[in-house]
Amino acid sequence: MSVQMRCKNVSLGYEDGIVTEGLEFTVSKGDYLCILGENGSGKSTLIKAILGLKAQVKGDIEWCGDTKKNEVGYLPQQTLVQRDFPASVREIVLSGCVAKSGLRPFYSKEEKALADSSMKRLGIDTLSKRCYRELSGGQQQRVLLARALCATSKILLLDEPVTGLDPKAQIDLYELIASLNKEGITIIMVSHDINTAIKYASHILHIGSRKQLFFGTREDYTKSMSGMEFLGTQEDENV
Amino acid sequence: MSESIEKLVSYFEFPFVRYAFIVGLLISLCASLLGVTLVLKRFSFIGDGLSHVAFGAMSLAATIPVMIKQAALALSRSGELSPGVQGVINFLGGLNDMVIVLPVTLLCAILLLRTGQNTRIKGDAAVAMLSVGALAIGYLLMNRFPSGANISGDVCSTLFGSTSILTLKPEDVTLCIIMAAVVIVVYILFYNKIFAVTFDENFTKATGVNAGGYNLLIAVVTALIIVLAMNLVGSLLISALIIFPALAAMRLFKSFKSVILCSAVISVVCAAFGIISSLLFSTPVGSTIVLADLLVFAAFSLISSLSRSKQ
């Protein structure tokens, strides 16, 4: 297993203070890492740091081997702007190639072919001319996932991908992500749904308030205390 | 009917009418291109804010020579201006207003678009603050240091652009054509980047594209268009040129490219229609164009709601 990313003693925070500190973990090729934590524990800040959108306060995030910093495909949480954006599915998927096109004003044939094949891979090729804002939530997520696949073939970073989807669409999306992982794409997913994390992930990173509670394989996590506690609280909430 | 056509033909024999027509169409085209991006990025009001800043800057440009003259008069004992001071005043008066208006507006555009969401004063509040602030300062300056006899006339034409479009000189037209060409070329060359930044800034940044740079580009081009459009519709109505064609096109069209093309067509057609009817019925140019845009928007909304209720 070749290591793709290494996080060394990373502290995250804003001007007003540290949100979380001492994060230590590695991601290897083909891993499915699920980042768990309650609201405000710094999950989103960690995502931003991994993507290079926001610098960490302390520590290093290293990219190893053939993976570079900007080769991460990102599936962000949906913004208000996107919900009524007049654009066709193909236009959006193609925009995943924007970094590849560099200063060239138009997309090349290869980039267009890549967009078409990513749409096929996610089963949305029949929607290519449809307007994004008229799609269902699950279809919209597939479109954004196809765009992320245009940006990378190595590592995907998903920020709470199932938020706002109905249960059926949630399961479909999780299965889709799992099948991409089986094809060899590394997955890093932020979630607060521990049950799916345990079902699909190979590794788990659990961030508590201000510090890292757990990093390791799923098997170790289910045995550990922090997992038990988190499982327990979730079950309480469900009652 | 033939009578009005004859009337139009006779109007178009005047060069200043042709100039106004060319400049009007070009400005509307540029405004509509940027409009789609600005509306989608939730920056519809930036046009309004910046145009008021441009109004303030324009008042400043008009009153600086007057201010210097008054100060010099107060300071000199003889009550007469020394030739040196007179020379400075003449030099400033002879400068194109653009020299002051363009840099000030550019600066404000960059400040407004770059600060984004994480500032202490949120985007919409910042726009509102700048807009009314500049308006107040501009009007105050014009009142305190009047450059002409007719203050309310000056203010009115700056706000509503009523006459200045018909007093364009050939240099103004050349400048306008060059700026419009620059805007259109930049837009076509960076079309894919502008789309990506508009749809999802974070994703674009994460893939390693300099999204901040493209935001800056959008800000600069917006400021350019606003300064250009001041002549056409005046500073109060510029927002209409920017947002109406974009909103109308978004009602009916479903892909980004078709929305852009449609909004450009709407904008040019409305500008042509507005200028021609303002000549025929002697209405103010700016407000006639905006009225045409408004009617198209209403028609498109109606069509879209009719087609939706059919489904």
Domains of chain B with bracketed CATH: 2-305 (1.10.3470.10)
Q: What is the pLDDT of residue B189?
A: 92
Question: Do A157 and A58 share a structural domain?
Answer: yes
Tokens 């394989």 locate to A217
Instruction: Supply the DSSP string of B12-69, one letter for each residue.
Output: HTSHHHHHHHHHHHHHHHHHHHHHHHHHHTT-TTHHHHHHHHHHHHHHHHHHHHHHHH
Extract the tokens encoding B51.
């145009």
State the pTM of this model: 0.83
What is the nearest CA distance from B130 to chain A, expressed in angstroms? 24
Residue A237, pLDDT > 50, answer no
Residues of B with CB under 8 A from a CB of A: 40-42, 188-193, 195-196, 198-200, 202-209, 250, 253-257, 259
As a whole number, mean pLDDT of residues A197-222 equals 79
Find the CB nearest A95 among B41, B199, B206. B199
Instruction: Supply the DSSP string of B253-301, one letter for each residue.
Output: --SHHHHHHHHHHHHHHHHHHHHHHHHHHT--HHHHHHHHHHHHHHHHH
Instruction: State the residue range of the domain holding A59.
Output: 1-71+153-239
Locate the chain A residue with the closest alpha carbon to B206. A51
Q: What is the pLDDT of residue A236?
A: 47
Find the CB nearest B255 among A51, A88, A95. A88
Residue A232, pLDDT > 70, answer no
Lowest mean pLDDT among A73-82, A97-106, B117-126: B117-126
Question: Do A165 and A104 share a structural domain?
Answer: no
Question: Do A99 and A3 share a structural domain?
Answer: no
Count of structural domains within chain A:
2
Question: Do A176 and A63 share a structural domain?
Answer: yes
Question: Do A66 and A167 share a structural domain?
Answer: yes
pLDDT tens digits, A56-75: 777 788 787 766 666 788 88
pLDDT tens digits, A1-52: 577 788 787 787 776 777 777 788 888 888 888 888 877 777 878 888 888 8
Question: Do A232 and A157 share a structural domain?
Answer: yes
Question: Do A47 and A32 share a structural domain?
Answer: yes
Question: Do A146 and A161 share a structural domain?
Answer: no
Locate the chain A residue with the closest alpha carbon to B260. A86
* Residue at which a domain ends, from A151, A180, A213: A151
Write the CATH number for A59: 3.40.50.300
Q: How far is CA B311 from CA A132, B255, B304, B307, in A?
A: 18, 20, 11, 7
Residue A106, pLDDT > 80, answer yes
pLDDT tens per residue, chain B (311 residues)? 678 888 888 888 888 888 888 888 998 999 999 889 888 887 777 778 888 888 888 888 878 877 777 888 877 766 677 777 777 777 776 666 777 888 888 888 888 776 654 445 566 777 888 888 988 988 888 888 776 666 677 777 667 665 556 667 787 788 888 888 999 999 999 999 999 988 888 888 888 888 888 888 888 888 888 887 776 677 777 888 888 999 999 988 989 999 999 999 999 999 999 988 988 888 888 888 889 999 999 999 999 999 888 76
Give the span between the Cα atoms of A91 and A107, in whole angstroms: 11
Extract the tokens encoding A51.
């993507």
Question: Do A184 and A230 share a structural domain?
Answer: yes
Question: Do A100 and A36 share a structural domain?
Answer: no
What angle (nearest 5°) sits at the alpha carbon of residue B37, between those of residues B32 and B39? 85
Question: Do A171 and A107 share a structural domain?
Answer: no
* Residue at which a domain ends, from A121, A151, A181: A151
* Residue at which a domain ends, from A129, A151, A173: A151
Locate the chain B residue with the closest alpha carbon to A158. B203
Question: Do A64 and A158 share a structural domain?
Answer: yes
